[in-house]
């Protein structure tokens, strides 16, 4: 995004709203956007941020690679590749009908840049390349997958410096590999220039328990307390396999 | 994605924090989902969430009637309840409706499991937050993240919370004004303003607390336009 100087009334209201911390004051009292830093999340176009409507799209906003910033930052966009809104898949929300993660399997969602720091595609590429070598499956339908080289797990070089609010890598694997996969994630995480939020998807067992909680405890990992639970009301039910 | 997950508890907890999600599965049961979504939306309206948004809306908030008009087969319903009994009632009524759409609830795991039990449901899958890793030294204090993590899309900036906290602490903004200001960036309508109220009231009681006094990128002392 950028600001039309003639429309800016120098109120400075936009500065604190910007999740990218990309807006700065100039010597003439008006404000401007550092477009290298901007996530293109589009929040600044809202009237409560800029009552004058001074924000306009950056040059090249609708084209590659700039458009990727918006697709992975603005919650009001839908990826043409998946027709699913948001940055990831429906994951556990519809697992009762999609069966993406079955009994005996574990899903992990590694969301780079979250909370609130953002990341570049080079961070995403580093993590996916390392995960590719572990043999995990990347969950289909995730918009990242359409951009990733399937053999190497890398992302195109021209995307490397594109800044986004977050990208969620979704993987699934047999549950006995949890420890080794987590080891790779934590080791790679130390080499990132950002943070990542991690969550684990698991089916409830026949008795309504989550056996993986014990496995996590043995690994010294304590879930934070926040959880999303699929209530099993979807139809037709996913086949067990 | 997991925008409802990863909320953190610092000055408040998640005991009164239930995010409802109804998601037609794209290509599986999404075709013809509109009337089912409409019925579920009517149940939600009847029970009364404390917050609700609508995907694709660029307005600050849209009315329930407008939401109904805009529903389509791939619409997703998201809203927030701050009452366990209301959340249970919604699930019980949707179970009776037998619409066949996937329903998920995000909150504290023991609370959500209790709600499922009370509604007579057998939970299918859990997505558990394991926390934040990597370069965590980049993060602000937990008190600020307690608010920003209410919008998993990251639309509530650290600086907005920092600035709003300071305005309230200095008496330049009321708690009610601050609640509105911090809710606005989240168009999904899942921010828990009740928890924000609690945080702010604790802040006032503990006056003198400064939320890290961090940089606000060039406008440290410039009040927001709304409060000039």
What is the per-residue pLDDT across B29-56, written as a single tens digit (0 to 9) for each?
999 999 999 999 999 999 999 999 876 6
Neighbours of B98 (CB within 10 A): 9
CA-nearest residue of chain B to A13? B224
Q: What are phi and psi of B145, to 5 degrees?
A: -70, -25
Helix (H) / strand (E) containing B97? helix B84-97
Contact B1, A139 (CB under 8 A): no
Helix, strand, coil shares, percent, chain B, to 5: 40, 15, 45
pLDDT confidence tier of residue B217, bands split at 50, 70 and 90: very low
Distance between CA atoms of residues A190 and A183, nearest Å: 11
For residues B79 and B18, is the Cβ–Cβ distance under 8 A?
A: no
Selecting from B28, B123, B155 the residue whose C-beta is nearest the C-beta of A204 gives B123
Element at B125 (helix H, strand E): strand B125-134
Q: What are phi and psi of B52, to 5 degrees?
A: -160, 140
pLDDT in tens, B88-146: 999 999 999 999 999 999 999 999 999 999 999 999 999 999 999 999 999 999 999 99
- Please tell me if residue B120 touches chain A, with a CB cutoff of 8 Å: no
Mean pLDDT is lowest, of A5-14, B60-69, B119-128, for B60-69
Q: Enumerate residues 134 to 163 of chain B having a beta carbon within 8 A of any beta carbon in chain A.
A: 134-136, 138-139, 145, 148-149, 152-160, 162-163
> Is residue B195's pLDDT more than 90?
yes
E strand intervals along chain A: 2-3, 23-25, 31-33, 55-56, 105-112, 119-120, 137-138, 163-164, 167-174, 195-203, 226-230
């Amino acid at each position: 995004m950028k600001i039309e100087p003639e429309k800016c009334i120098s109120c400075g209201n936009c500065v604190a709203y910007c999740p990218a911390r990309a807006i700065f004051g100039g010597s003439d009292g008006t404000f401007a956007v550092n477009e290298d830093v901007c996530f293109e999340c589009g929040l600044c176009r809202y009237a409560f941020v800029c009552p004058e409507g001074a924000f306009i799209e950056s040059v090249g906003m609708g084209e590659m690679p700039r458009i990727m910033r918006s697709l992975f930052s603005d919650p009001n966009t839908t990826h043409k590749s998946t027709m699913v809104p948001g940055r990831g898949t429906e994951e556990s929300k519809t697992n009762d009908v999609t069966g993406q993660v079955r009994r005996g399997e574990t899903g992990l969602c590694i969301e780079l840049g979250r909370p609130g720091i953002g990341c570049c595609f080079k961070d995403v590429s580093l993590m996916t390349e390392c995960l590719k070598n572990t043999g995990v499956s990347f969950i289909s339908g995730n918009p990242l997958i359409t951009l990733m080289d399937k053999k190497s797990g890398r992302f195109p070089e021209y995307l490397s410096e594109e800044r986004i609010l977050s990208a969620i890598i979704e993987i699934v694997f047999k549950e006995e590999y949890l420890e080794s996969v987590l080891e790779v994630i934590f080791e790679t995480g130390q080499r990132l220039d950002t943070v990542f939020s991690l969550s684990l998807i698991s089916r409830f067992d026949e008795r309504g328990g989550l056996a993986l909680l014990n496995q996590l405890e043995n690994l010294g990992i304590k879930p934070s307390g926040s959880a999303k639970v699929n209530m099993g009301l979807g139809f037709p039910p996913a086949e067990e396999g | 994605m997991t925008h409802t997950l990863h909320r953190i508890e610092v000055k408040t907890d998640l005991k009164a924090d239930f995010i409802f999600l109804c998601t037609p599965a794209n290509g599986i049961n999404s075709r013809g989902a509109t009337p089912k979504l409409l019925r579920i939306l009517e149940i939600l309206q009847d029970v009364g969430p404390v917050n609700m948004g609508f995907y694709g809306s660029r307005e600050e908030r849209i009315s329930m009637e407008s939401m109904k008009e805009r529903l389509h087969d791939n619409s997703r319903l998201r809203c927030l309840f701050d009452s366990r009994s209301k959340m249970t009632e919604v699930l019980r009524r949707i179970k009776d409706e037998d619409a066949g759409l996937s329903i998920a609830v995000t909150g504290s795991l023991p609370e959500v499991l209790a709600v499922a039990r009370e509604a007579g449901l057998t939970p299918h899958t859990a997505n558990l937050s394991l926390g934040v890793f990597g370069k965590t030294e980049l993060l602000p204090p937990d008190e600020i993240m307690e608010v920003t993590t209410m919008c998993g899309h990251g639309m509530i900036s650290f600086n907005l919370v920092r600035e709003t906290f300071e305005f309230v602490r200095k008496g330049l903004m009321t708690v009610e004004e601050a609640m509105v200001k911090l809710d606005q960036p989240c168009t999904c309508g899942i921010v828990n303003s009740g928890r924000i109220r609690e945080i702010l009231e604790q802040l006032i009681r503990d006056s003198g607390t400064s939320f890290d006094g961090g940089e606000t990128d060039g406008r440290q002392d410039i009040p927001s336009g709304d409060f000039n």
